[in-house]
Chains A and B, each alone.
Chain A
Amino acid sequence: MAHRNSSNLQPFLDRLNLRSRLLKEEQEAVLNLPVYAAQVRPNEDHVALGEMTDHATFVVSGVLGRFDQNANGERQITALHIAGDMADLNSVVEPRATSALQALSTTTILQVPHRPIREMTARYPALAEAFWRDCMVDAAVLAQWVVNLGRRSAAARIAHLLCETATRCRQGDDKQALRFDFPLTQAQLADATGLTSIHVNRTLKTLSGTVAVAQKSVDILDWDALAARGDFNRTYLQADIRPSERLRIMAA
């Protein structure tokens, strides 16, 4: 904790630059935000349900799961936040956590205090616009997860999630990662896809010709087959927008 190194936010700026047009001064403001590094142990809640937070959480490495739960305490994973994600940018405008953030493996994060983010966006409205745009991608991902739970078979749910993660690992690129870190247990994968862990295990076996899921990583053996199985179309991720398509609605 309490280790400050602002240039660590370069991957966050790179992410914003993918979809939004920012001036040099605005980009420098992002890089100059104060950050506090921390490590979260596996299965530890970094942000508890209902907690008031005073910082946003940037994932440097590892995976954070967004959780919600029913009255019996049974959890459902509602999002996965991987390296390069600002997991709860929305907390800047709603500090009471409406869902928990838990580390699914040892995860290194940067805490970015809300106050300087608010001061920065008040000064540079185009940054608020860029944040808003990126939060829309989070909403698009969530919509796809709803379709997964409601309208896709077990094999399609898992194939879709793996294709999505492969694409998100390579933002800014028209390719996807064919091998990536994926430190989820089968029980966690079950919590993300609304299946039982035994069914996840069984489904992974039926997908074994197209993808190999080991304890810590995923190897995609046949991308086209996996994408077809998962009913996956990458457009909603807005991961490969051309520079000319980057938006800036607000005036400088």
Chain B
Amino acid sequence: MARYYFHLHDYVDVPDPEGQDLPDLAAAIAHAVQQARGLAGELIKETGRVVLSHRIDIEDADGAVLHTLRLADALSIEQ
């Protein structure tokens, strides 16, 4: 287990002060995907708007960015 931090960068920067203990980076990315989908869903419901370039940076305890997930990466949108 390692602690991963999920910092959101959308209209504002929202640092994650607590982090989450997860087995590995793959699990952290899967967690970020769920987080992004939940966030996008609520934003669409409340405002009708979602910016696909907004992103979640997954960092380790030392502040190194291990992975960047854009909202677009978590969603599949068809015309």
Contact = CB atoms under 8 A, between A and B. Distances in A.
Interface string B13-25: 0101110100000
Contact of A202 (B17, B18, B39): B39
B8 A154 contact: no
B42 A154 contact: yes
B20 A201 contact: no
Contacts of B6: 197-198
Contacts of B35: 196-199
Interface in B32-71: 34-36, 38-39, 42, 46, 56
A187 to B, nearest CB: 7
A18 interface: no
Most buried by A among B8, B12, B34, B39: B39
A195 B8 contact: no
A202 B56 CA distance: 12
Contacts of B38: 195-196, 198-199
A5 interface: no
B16 A198 contact: yes
B12 A205 contact: yes
Contacts of B39: 196, 198-199, 202
A154 B18 CA distance: 20
Nearest to B39: A199
Contacts of B20: 187, 197
B68 to A, nearest CB: 14
B42 A201 contact: no
Contacts of B36: 198
Interface residues of B, number: 17
A171 B36 CA distance: 39
Contacts of A215: 17-18
B16 A201 contact: yes
Contacts of A199: 35, 38-39, 42
Most buried by B among A197, A205, A215: A197
Contacts of B12: 202, 205
Contacts of A198: 6, 8, 14, 16, 35-36, 38-39, 56
A195 B42 CA distance: 8
Given A185-B18, A201-B16, A153 B46 contact: yes
Given A198-B6, A199-B39, A205 B14 contact: yes
Interface in A162-188: 185-187
Contacts of A186: 16-18
Most buried by B among A153, A154, A198: A198
B14 A154 contact: no
A202 B10 contact: yes
B18 A187 contact: yes
Kindly list the 3 A-B residue pairs having the minimum CB-CB distance in the complex, ordered from nearest: A196-B38, A198-B35, A196-B35
Given A187-B20, A199-B38, A201-B17, 9 more contacts: A154-B42, A154-B46, A195-B42, A196-B34, A196-B39, A197-B16, A197-B20, A198-B14, A199-B42
